[in-house]
Amino acid sequence: MLDQKLVLEHQIIIARETGLPLILHCRGHSLFRPLFDYMSSLLPSNHPIQ
């Protein structure tokens, strides 16, 4: 899980630096909020998340 989180963090940083949107698929309703909160903590509030 740590490897996945590290890779995701790198993807979030790339999206932030390039201004590209992030499009993610999350399996399981209980996993969506933690993922969204984590992404939101690393991105500016106006960054597109689809």
**In angstroms, what CA-CA distances link 3 with 6, 8, 12, 43?**
5, 9, 14, 20
Asked, for residue 49, whether it belongs to a domain, the answer is no
Q: What is the C-alpha separation between 30 and 42, in angstroms, rounded?
A: 20
Asked, for residue 50, whether it belongs to a domain, the answer is no
Q: What residue numbers bound the domain in which 19 lies?
A: 1-42
**In angstroms, what CA-CA distances link 23 with 39, 47, 48?**
11, 12, 9
Number of compact structural domains in the chain: 1
Asked, for residue 20, whether it belongs to a domain, the answer is yes
The predicted structure's pLDDT at residue 50: 63
Per-residue pLDDT tens over the stretch 1-50: 679 889 999 998 998 899 888 788 888 889 889 988 888 888 888 877 66
The predicted structure's pLDDT at residue 43: 84
The predicted structure's pLDDT at residue 28: 85
